[in-house]
Structure 1
């Protein structure tokens, strides 16, 4: 017979023991804590700082993420925080915009136009934009109200391992006395420890062999009363600058994220640094209303806040009492806003795989290892697509050679021709078919080859230029393959 709820709560509070110890009350930590608690597990959730976070990440949730959030029983957390519906994207290519709305779906939620075109009428899913801190506080509030979860504000400093084996038994922490400011040592124990301590994870090296790769940063501005080209559509601006992404996070607030690759001359100290790059390269490329809002947001004279744009492919884990998930384990370029969607999807899958009916004892390391191996493969149908698309689109949108610029033009031409439902469905994490992603990516590549050839061979008098067009055909196709296939391979589609 299971222990009474009150007794388990007392055990968590007095003895710091539970079925599961979760490190980090962020997106993934709150989601997995709530999901496991709903299954009757006793959960301890640890967070260093319970105040509302003020961060520029995790502000756009794709439709697939909204669906996963509802599966977890946390859909209500999107309400009461001034969140804004998002119906898709507008891509502005050198001043010319085209809309990419999320696709029409049937009654089962399947995208109706997976291989060609776009549906004119029908039900369309939507994403949500919001202030990250407000959303996090809603998730934490839901966890605090759950009878099977106890939250502690404490800093996790190390793992606790068995004397005879390498099995992780829990974590060591330092808890600050709010009256005296002194830090005292503490410890929390569980049959399973789940670490979700974010992109700056201090435990990553202990659990997986890979490290994040950072090639650029997003510098963030908060624009006030800045209408976007199409209401409730995020805006991606592609021009002579690197990509700029805008989306609403409140009734009056719009987030602007400006991509700045490492060590580019345009952002060197001699050129005025990041502010000089924004002034000289970004402002001329954005629409007038956005430009004026950006100038106003930069009037404080400060360098905008930044976040690293990281790529961290997923890795298999031994799961000897501890598992690593969320941004600590897997990241992709944030251009497509897929991070939270991946996290909520992982929480759904993991909670299903270690449900008490399947894994009664979370201390059974073999059962947890089998569940993690299954998670590694099952998540690929969504996360592998999101990760590959994020990396591939960034490579195209930040094109820095002739072949990538040709592919960039082909991508925009593809959207102009109405081929939007499947790309938007893949982007929104509601279409989970790797073959469809591959088909549309190389369709873009062949359209880019055709458009480039038409530019070179304009008529019969240009027949002598055919060899040049054929040479470009090989180079563009090769460049597309180099962009796409290695990421697909690393994501495990092999």
Structure 2
């Protein structure tokens, strides 16, 4: 039996390392277990919003310049070639981009140096029995450790999540906590070198294709490009021609040519975009953080920031249920926004196109709306009212345009039908968490 600890954290990704550091800074003895000895090289989060940067600073983790790049916000490029819309980080804050593997390596190094944290790499957890974690190291004998709190930061297929539900009576496990994640699209990720972005220091979102394209700088020579690919599309062999047909004309020539060339060379990584509402954060001595809780569409680039905030919030309380209530309230508006952004950039229907044009007009005309949009995007709004205000502003603009069009170009019946379509959109947006996000 390994010596007992106050907290056992399973998974030493960004959320797991932050969880270990936050608990250690609160005076707890922490065992941090990770199955892999090396940082992951898969396509994963590389953007940290200002709120996530603030958490890292409070945990004593800096973002060294050689590993990260500061980011000022996003630039949205409409498909009609109208002027781009700059969305700066809220209140003049700064985001950062960093390769996922380098972020993980840096966080593990900080955790390993903390005297209250025991980082064990190559430790594969095989079971959780009440408050005892059972694991093996590189095929060796089973080791057992008792912990006052067990935290699952082990991703979407969390062993801790499964262990919680396997030991709970069906009557105490709501369907929203056990529902499987829904795959809504796929992301193709490509690294391009030796190129410049239309405006350096920003992430760039290009609309118009079957899904949005996001591009941002990782280092002096490297740009990351991610393409949201619908599930209905064919995969790898036809991807270059698919991107050429569906996306390239909406990208600047400086990006589209190198992107298609990289795809021709199969220099692409894939990730499934899965949605699981963050309705369950654990119970009793068991807690979940990061992707183990749930995920939203990656267009909002919020996964790292939300996971870091989970970690800090959890370490401040002994009550996992209260922690879950706070975190659900903190991300509810953001989850609705993420679903809306996925639909507004991917749904080819006419009502969505109208609303997208209205969104462009509203954001272009109003600095306060741009600020509100970025607060929602960065998960800094704690209630649904700001989201409702933003949505109603866009919908009202679309209705006004339709009524004007009814007087000038189309029949009133057409305008009334269009307004009915917008109302259906609003009903879709207003559904409570736990419903399918399909449209």
TM-score w.r.t. the length of structure 1 is 0.80
TM-score w.r.t. the length of structure 2 is 0.89
The correspondence for 2:93, drawn from 99, 106, 125, is 125
1:72 aligns with 2:43: no
User: What residue number does 1:225 align with?
Assistant: 194
User: What residue number does 2:416 align with?
Assistant: 470
- Equivalences for residues 10-409 of structure 1 within 5 A: 15-74=2-61, 76=62, 78-94=63-79, 95-102=81-88, 105=91, 124-161=92-129, 168-176=130-138, 182-207=139-164, 208-264=177-233, 267=234, 273-300=238-265, 302=266, 304-316=268-280, 319-354=283-318, 371-409=319-357
Give 5+ residue unaligned stretches, structure 1: 1-13, 106-123, 162-167, 177-181, 355-370
Moved more, 423-432 or 473-482: 423-432
Structure 1 residues 160, 233: closer, same or farther in 2, change over 3 A? closer
Structure 1 residues 103, 57: closer, same or farther in 2, change over 3 A? closer
Shift of 1:138: 0.9
Larger radius of gyration: 1
Distance (whole Å) between structure 2 residues aligned to residue 242 and residue 318 of structure 1: 34
Contact 1:81 1:130 in 2 (8 A): no
Distance (whole Å) between structure 2 residues aligned to residue 318 and residue 326 of structure 1: 12
In the comparison of the two structures, how many residue pairs are matched? 421
1:174-206 CA-to-partner distances (Å, cap 9, x unmatched) read: 211xxxxx5433233212111110123244333
Shift of 1:29: 0.6
Shift of 1:473: 0.5
User: What residue number does 1:427 align with?
Assistant: 377
1:33-89 CA-to-partner distances (Å, cap 9, x unmatched) read: 001111111100000113132132110011121122223332x1x114431111111
Shift of 1:15: 2.5
Contact 1:336 1:390 in 2 (8 A): yes
Structure 1 residues 404, 333: closer, same or farther in 2, change over 3 A? same
Shift of 1:398: 0.9
Distance (whole Å) between structure 1 residues aligned to residue 77 and residue 281 of structure 2: 41
Distance (whole Å) between structure 1 residues aligned to residue 305 and residue 35 of structure 2: 24
1:136-169 CA-to-partner distances (Å, cap 9, x unmatched) read: 11111110000000111234343342xxxxxx22
1:465-485 CA-to-partner distances (Å, cap 9, x unmatched) read: 012101211111212321x11
Shift of 1:381: 4.3
Structure 1 residues 82, 27: closer, same or farther in 2, change over 3 A? closer
Shift of 1:268: 6.4
Shift of 1:489: 7.0
1:240-290 CA-to-partner distances (Å, cap 9, x unmatched) read: 4311111112222111111111123xx368xx5333312321222211111
Superposed CA RMSD in Å reads 2.2
Distance (whole Å) between structure 2 residues aligned to residue 50 and residue 386 of structure 1: 34
Moved more, 61-70 or 26-35: 61-70
